[in-house]
Structure 1
Amino acid sequence: MEIIYQAWTHKDIEARVLEAAQTLMLMPGVKMPASIQAIWREYKDDYGKAKTHYRRRPEAAAIDRMYETWEWINALESEADRKLLYGWARVKVHKGMKLSSYALENMMNDRQLKRKIDQLNHWIANNLNRLYFVRLTDGVDPVSETEHKSHQQTVSSKSCVRGANHFMAQGAKPKNIPSLHEKMKPAA
């Protein structure tokens, strides 16, 4: 089993924010008629005579991603930053308004607006990378203890048992350092 981690970048976040704004534009309006039968009586003679038109609807997965993206944006600390990012996305996907006029409304120029949006997208990407995703780039080693069910009762080293702080028996001398033997001879 190989798990590969792919970090979020500010470009990924920018694309998701724009997709969320576009999905919101494709959502149907909430306007519902009071009585469908009254409308039917009024228009039944004209039914089928008008030109048909197709209105694109968003996919269910896009709606889920939209709500997830909103959670990311709402995690921003400043309300002004949240409004700026929502407004920027709306202007970017909506026809009729230009980014330069939106930047002027927010007392910025085009370059300052782009830098601020990039900064917010970087913050969201860093937050996602830090909080939500496990950073695994190599396959899981089946030999290592990665399970939470490990109940090891033995200790592999005597130095860890009951406060022992050395590996040699008491009074033992190292055999691999001859000069140390002479220094450690008992005083006569």
Structure 2
Amino acid sequence: MLYEIHSHAQIQDLQARSDELGHSNEHMDVKLVSLESVRIARESYALLWPLTKEPMSWACLELDSLSVVATLSLEIQKLEHDVLPQLMVQESKLERGALEALLVMQNSAIKLLHLAKCFKESLGILQDLVSCRAEDVSIMLNDIVLHVLRGNISWLQARLPVLAGLVTIMLETPVRFCDSDE
């Protein structure tokens, strides 16, 4: 049996019906086609991953790709909830909290580039919207860190709203794991 997933709600439905579906002796293939947004990927992975483990005989080839997007979601949400608010309340000088936030931003820039590359490789394509937007956020993070470390602190305050917008756009980006026409 093949179960195509085009939304988080379908994963929730599959999870809710897992006892009923798991009692059949039929092998089930779960094909993850798309999700509404990067933001929901963590929750989707948390629901889908246990369904592919024993004793059920379910398989989902896109699970590794979903894992990458879930990690990407976690990294972007860390920026949204922890780093950006901390930087927006800092004075126009580099205090300890701002320096720590800049270090987290630099690390996030590196992680986002790596995750974008991993996602493209898992899909087997050269370019997709999720990876492109992750790369955009990474470039912006890196630029901000470099300018601030060179002493251009006012540049930080001017760029934070743009970065916040990119983070929001990234989290709202729909995720496509494969062509639905396949």
TM-score (normalizing by structure 2): 0.22
Larger relative contact order (Cα-Cα within 8 Å, sequence gap ≥ 6) = 1
Which structure is larger by alpha-carbon Rg, 1 or 2? 1
TM-score (normalizing by structure 1): 0.22
